[in-house]
Amino acid sequence: MKTAIGLLFLFAVINVSYSTSLREFTFMKSLYAREDMPRLVLTSMITRRIDQVKTLYESKSILEDAKIFCNSTEQSLNLLLESMNANDTQNGEFFESYSHIVQLIADVSNVMNLHYVDYLTVNSRDSFPRDELQAMMDAYISDIEMVRMCEVSMGRADRVDMKILERIKSLSNEMRNYTFYRDDSFVSESMSISRKTMDQCLWQFKFLLNKFTSTFIHY
């Protein structure tokens, strides 16, 4: 079994840049900057990704070849999860293998014209289209909720500042309910007041994320 797992990792070795640009890793590494990332967090990432792949499979809009890809991807993720649970995998091997699988999902999502923000972070750029900004904010909230559940399981529930989390959720809801007006037909969208409102929301989101991270690290 270990030989088979070793072959899996051999074929899964990829460019290390994936592990540094993937939002999940960038954010998790910032939270656990002073310690090893808990194994529970890593396995939770795999489990969450499996659920996402299952949701995509159940979508009525995807074609048969995409369903076959989803099945294959779920098998790959389950192999990685089994190896993690058996302690056959080091963190570095996990980062490479998981990043490779996620990159393949991103490639297929791009072919299918699906909205994909796993490689977007709050520091990617200073301005985002509304859909991307909203999806990215929701992705970070999902990351925080996942970490919160892991920390609760490890007996460290107080490590997650719930007040900051609620403010982040509130900001996301404001974004979702915000009416994007076209201020002036002679003003480009990038210079519109509504666009600048989105940029203000992005700044607030960055600020709250940094505050959350600092509180988490210094727990």
Percent of the chain with pLDDT over 70: 86
pLDDT tens-digit profile of 132-146?
999 999 999 999 999
**Nearest-angstrom CA–CA distance, 105 and 176:** 26
Structure tokens at 151: 């920390």
Q: Could you tell me if 19 and 103 are in contact, meaning their C-beta atoms sit under 8 angstroms apart?
A: no
The count of other CB atoms within 10 Å of the CB of residue 96 is: 18
Q: What is the value of pTM for the model shown? A: 0.85
Using alpha carbons, select from 174, 177, 179 the residue that is nearest to residue 194. Answer: 179
pLDDT in tens, 141-178: 999 999 999 999 999 999 999 999 999 999 999 999 98
When the pLDDT of each residue in the chain is averaged and rounded to a whole number, the result is 87
Kindly tell me if the per-residue pLDDT of 25 is higher than 80.
yes
Q: What is the pLDDT of residues 58-117, one digit of tens each?
A: 987 888 999 999 999 999 999 999 999 999 888 889 999 999 999 999 999 999 888 789
Q: Which residues, 6+ apart, have CB-to-CB distance to 117 below 8 Å?
A: 23, 132, 135, 136, 139
Q: Are 165 and 148 in contact (CB under 8 A)?
A: yes
